Amino acid sequence: MDWIPIKKSLENYSVEPNLLDYEETHRTFSWSLVVEELQGSSQAQGLNIANIAVDRHAEGVKANHVAMRFIAPDWTVRDFTYSNLKAQTNRFANVLLHLGIVKGDRTFVLAGRIPSLYIAALGTLKNGSVFCPLFSAFGPEPVFQRLDRGDAKVLVTTTSLYKQKVAQLRERLPKLQQILLIDAEEDMGEGLLSLPKLMVEASEEFATVPTEAEDMALLHFTSGTTGMPKGAIHVHKAVYAHYITAKYVLDLHSNDIFWCTADPGWVTGTSYGIIAPLTHGVTSIIDEAEFDANRWYQILETQKVNVWYTAPTAIRRLMRIDIEPRKHYDLSQLRLVHSVGEPLNPEAVIWGQEKLGLPIHDNWWQTETGGIMIANYPTMDIRPGSMGRPLPGIEAAIVRRHEDGTVEVIDKPGVDGDLALKPGFPSLFRGYLHEEERYCKCFVGDWYISGDLAARDADGYFWFVGREDDIIKTSGHMVGPFEVENALMEHPAVAEAGVIGKPNPMIGELVKAFVSLKPGRQPSEGLKLELIGFARQKLGAAIAPKEIEFQDNLPKTRSGKIMRRLLKARELGLPEGDLSTLETN
C-alpha cells in the first residue's frame, strides 16, 4: 500500500459533483430513497428497467434529447432521441409479443454495437422477457453453449453472423424458436424472419408488460477468466443500483455526453453501456468500430465527451503508443475517466494525470454484483493502485472463512482476506442459471464472498490483491500477482505483465512473470536480469519473480483480462480448460 495520493481539487471541475460528502451520504443512505427519487408515487405500478431508462424521459422534457449516438466505422453518425428510442423499443416489444414470446422467455442478441442490439435489449425488457447479450466475436461453440444453457427462445442477429455461427447449430437447439435477422429484407425460411419487416408491421404503441422488482430481467455470462463462464441472473430492481452508481461514481449530469467503451456482451456494456446513462437522461456515445487509439481520441474530442468509462486493457494500449493526447486533441470537455474490469496499475492512474490531465478512477465490481460496488469518486483523493471505497448503500468487508463455516470480519487494516459484500443491495445476482449449488456456495454466513482477495487500509480504501485462484504461495508468503505486475509495469520497457505461481518442491510455488515489451524494446537475457533486479529492489527477493519470460501478447479474454490460469496451464503443460472467451487475434 505504497501510495502518493492524487489530491482532489474541484477548481477545474465544471459541475457540482453529485456526491459531495461521502461520509454523510453513506451514513444517511437508504435504498428506499433511491426508489422514491426514481419512481416517486408510481411505485405501486411495478418496475421495469426500460420504463425507467427510456419512457420516463420520452414522456417528459427529454423527449427530443439525444439518448444514443452511434458512430459507424466510416464515421457516419446516427442519433436516437428518447422519443425515437421509445417508439423503436415499443415496436420490438410488439414483435416479440406477436411471436408469442412472453414474460421470462429468453431473448438473445448476437450482434456488434449497432442500434438493433440496443433496441432489442430495451424492447425485450418492455415485453417482460429476459435479455441476454452475446459477444459478436464468439465462435459457434461458445454461442451454442450460451444459447443452450440459457434456454434461448429467440435470437436476434445479422445474416452473416447467422450463417457463420448459428446455422450449423440449429438442430442442437430445439428450444430456439425464432431467429430475427437484423438485415434481411425478406424471411429466409421457417423461424428465420426478417426483423425490418416485422418492425414495420409492428405498432409504436405498447403497454409495458407488468414486471415486478424481483422479476428476472438480464442474464449475463461471466468473462470466463477463471473457468467456464457462469450465467448470472439479474432482476429489474438492479436498475436502482445502475442509477445510483451512475449518479455517485460516474457523476452523470443531465446534459453530459457519456462514453462507455465496453461491448454489451460483457456486463459493463449493458449496465453502463445501455441502462445507467439512460436512467439519467444523458447522451450515450456508442462506437461501432474496434479499438484504435487515434480514433478514440478523436471521438473524445469531436463528441465532446464529458465522462468516459473504459478498461485497464485499453488504457495500457494507449500508454504503449507514443501519442501525446493533449498536444494533438482538444480534451477540454473531458471531466472524468473511469476504469473497470481488471486491476488498474498505479502507473496507469498516474499516466492519466500526466497525459490526459485527469487521473483515472478505478472501480471494482463483477458480473454477479450487476453494478459498481467500490469506487473512486470525483470528490475524494485518489490513492493510485486502490479500488477506492464502497458505494453508499454497499457494505464491503475483508473477511476470513473458517472451517466450521463461520466468517470473521478482519478489522485490522492492511490484512489480506476475502473481499465480501453484505447481500441486500438490488443488483446482486439472484442465481447462476441451472447451477444452484454453485450459487449457494458464494454465500457464507452473512456475506457474499466475491472470490477476490483484497485488503482495506486505515481510511477505508480497498486494495486489490488478486483472485483467489491466482494467489501464489511462495516460501511461506502469500503473493498477489497484481503487486508483482505493478512493480514490473514501473519499468520503462514493460507494456504488460502477467504473474503466476509455478509449483516448486523447495519453496511451494515459484513466482514467474510473463512480460510483453513496449514497441522498440527487444527481449534479451540482459533485460530479464535487469527486470528481476528491478523487481527485487521494489518487492524484496522473496516476492520478486525468479523467472521471466517474454511474450508478445499475453493471453486475454475477449473483454481484455489477462488469463493467468492459461499462462499457468501452458507453463505446466496442463489442459487449457474452457477457451470460449479467449481473444484469438
Contacts with ligand ATP by CB under 6 A lie at: 222-227, 229-230, 266-267, 340-344, 362-364, 366-367, 387, 450-452, 464, 467, 561
Tell me the closest approach of the beta carbon of residue 311 to ligand ATP, in angstroms. 9
Residue 224 interacts, among Mg ion, ligand ATP, none and using kind-specific CB cut-offs from 5 to 8 Å, with ligand ATP
d(CA 69, CA 85): 11
SS3 call for 120: helix
By C-beta, is 178 or 363 nearer to ligand ATP? 363
Q: Which is nearer to ligand ATP, 206 or 461 (CB)?
A: 461
Do 174 and 146 meet the contact criterion of CB atoms below 8 Å apart?
Answer: no
Rounded distance between C-alpha atoms, residue 286 and residue 265, angstroms: 14
- Which residue stretch of 81-89, 138-146, 216-224, 270-278 sits at the interface with Mg ion (rule: CB under 5 A)? 216-224
Distance (Å, whole) CA 328 – CA 324: 7
By beta carbon distance, the residue nearest Mg ion is 222
Choose among Mg ion, ligand ATP, none what residue 452 binds, the Cβ cut-off being 5 to 8 Å by kind: ligand ATP
220 binds, among ligand ATP, Mg ion, none (CB under 5 to 8 A by kind): none
Q: Of ligand ATP, Mg ion, none, which one does residue 544 interact with (CB within 5 to 8 Å by kind)?
A: none
Site string for Mg ion, 171-210 (x = CB under 5 A): ----------------------------------------
Nearer to ligand ATP, 256 or 342 (CB): 342
Helix axis angle, 481-489 relative to 525-539, nearest 10°? 120
Binding partner of residue 465 among ligand ATP, Mg ion, none, CB cut-off 5 to 8 Å per kind = none
Give the three cell numbers for residue 136. Answer: 459478436
C-beta of 105 vs 342, nearer to ligand ATP: 342
Question: CB under 5 to 8 A by kind: which of Mg ion, ligand ATP, none does 364 bind?
Answer: ligand ATP
Smaller CB separation from ligand ATP, 263 or 509: 263
Residue 107 binds what, of ligand ATP, Mg ion, none (CB under 5 to 8 Å, by partner type)?
A: none
Give the angle 387-393-397 at the CA atoms, nearest 5°: 50
Helix 115-126 vs helix 82-98: crossing angle, to nearest 10 = 60
CB of 150 to ligand ATP, least distance (A): 15
Which C-beta is closer to ligand ATP: that of 468 or that of 547?
468
| Contact call for residues 413 and 455 (beta carbons, < 8 A) | yes
Give min distance, CB of 238 to ligand ATP, in A: 14
Q: Kindly state the cell numbers that stand for 465.
A: 490483491
Please identify, using beta-carbon distances, which residue of 47 and 267 lies nearer to ligand ATP: 267
Cβ neighbours of 159 (radius 10 Å): 15
CB of 166 to ligand ATP, least distance (A): 23
Evaluate the CA torsion angle 42, 44, 45, 46 in order and state its sign: positive
Shorter beta-carbon distance to ligand ATP: residue 123 or 265: 265
Per-residue buried b or exposed e for 499-517, using 16+ beta carbons within 10 Å of the residue's own CB: bbbbeeeebebbbbbbbbb
Residue 134 binds which of ligand ATP, Mg ion, none (CB < 5-8 A, kind-dependent): none
Q: Shortest distance, CB of residue 390 to ligand ATP, whole angstroms? A: 13
Shortest distance, CB of residue 421 to Mg ion, whole angstroms?
13
CB of 341 to ligand ATP, least distance (A): 5
Q: Which span sits near Mg ion by CB under 5 A: 20-28, 198-206, 218-226, 503-511?
A: 218-226
At closest approach, how far in Å is the CB of 233 from Mg ion? 15
Distance CA 358, CA 101 (A): 47
The nearest distance, CB 579 to ligand ATP, in angstroms, is: 12
Question: Taking the complex as a whole, how short is the minimal distance between the CB of residue 458 and ligand ATP, in angstroms?
Answer: 20
Residue 338, φ and ψ in degrees, nearest 5: -125, 155
Give the Cα separation of 365 and 336 in Å (integer): 19
Grid cell 477545474 is found at 12
Using DSSP bridges, classify how beta strands 374-375 and 336-339 pair: parallel, antiparallel or unpaired: unpaired
Nearest-angstrom CA–CA distance, 419 and 447? 10
Q: 3-class SS at 191? A: coil
**d(C-alpha 182, C-alpha 574), whole Å:** 42
Which of Mg ion, ligand ATP, none interacts with 369 (beta carbon under 5 to 8 A by kind)? none
| Contacting residues for 475 by C-beta, under 8 A, at least 6 apart | 507, 508, 542
561 binds, among Mg ion, ligand ATP, none (CB under 5 to 8 A by kind): ligand ATP
- The count of residues interacting with Mg ion (CB under 5 A) is 1
**Cα 68 from chain centre:** 19
Q: Are 247 and 393 in contact (CB under 8 A)?
A: no
Span of 157-165, 214-222, 273-281, 434-442 interacting with Mg ion by CB under 5 A = 214-222
DSSP state of 16: -
Rounded to an integer, what distance in angstroms lies between the CA atom of residue 530 and that of residue 317?
23
CB of 304 to ligand ATP, least distance (A): 27
**Which residues form the interface with Mg ion (CB under 5 A)?**
222
